[in-house]
Amino acid sequence: MQYPRRKFVSALTAGRALRFFAVAYLDRIYSQPMIAFFSRHYQPMLYVLIALAATAGIVALIYFKWYRPKMQREERARGEQVETFPVPSRHAKGRVDHFTQGKRK
C-alpha cells in the first residue's frame, strides 16, 4: 500500500463515523413509522419472506444440480481445467473476464 497509514486510518474513521451518524439519523426519523407499518402488515410480509426464501432455495438447487455440473462437463470436454466453483458470468458468450484479463501468466 503506497498511502500513508495515518491518512488511511483518518479517512477510514471519518467514513465510518459519517455512515454511523447517517444510519442513526435515518433510524431516528423512520423507526416509528416502520414499526407501525410492520405491526399492521406482519402476516403478508411473513408470506413474502417465506416465498423469497423458497425461491432462493429453488434457484440454488437448480444451480448446484444442473448449471454447475453442466459447465464442468463442458470444460472437461474442451480439455480445460475444471473450476471447483464456477461463476455464471464467466461463461457468458461475448463477455470479457475482467478478473483475469490484466493478470500475467
Chain centroid to CA 26: 23
Answer yes or no: is 63 within a domain. Answer: yes
Range of the domain at 77: 42-85
Q: Examine the domain organization and report whether 30 and 51 are in the same domain.
A: no
Residues 34 and 46 in one domain: no
74 and 64 inside one domain = yes
Both 19 and 46 in one domain: the answer is no
Q: What is the pLDDT of residues 30-89, one digit of tens each?
A: 999 999 999 999 999 999 999 999 999 999 988 888 887 777 777 778 877 776 666 666
Shared-domain flag, residues 50 and 15: no
Q: Structure pTM? A: 0.48
25 exposure class (CB count in 10 Å sphere: 0-12, 13-18, 19+): exposed
pLDDT of residue 104: 46
Q: Is residue 105 part of a domain?
A: no
Report yes or no on 36 lying in a domain. yes
Proportion of the chain in helix, strand, coil states, percent, rounded to 5: 75, 0, 25
Instruction: Judge whether 90 and 97 are in contact, CB under 8 Å.
Output: yes
Indicate whether 90 belongs to any domain. no
Return d(Cα 40, Cα 69) in angstroms, integer. Answer: 45
Q: Is residue 103 part of a domain?
A: no
Same domain flag for 9 and 27: yes
- Asked if residues 24 and 16 have their Cβ atoms less than 8 Å apart, the reply is no
- Total tally of structural domains belonging to the chain: 2
Residue 105 has a pLDDT of: 44
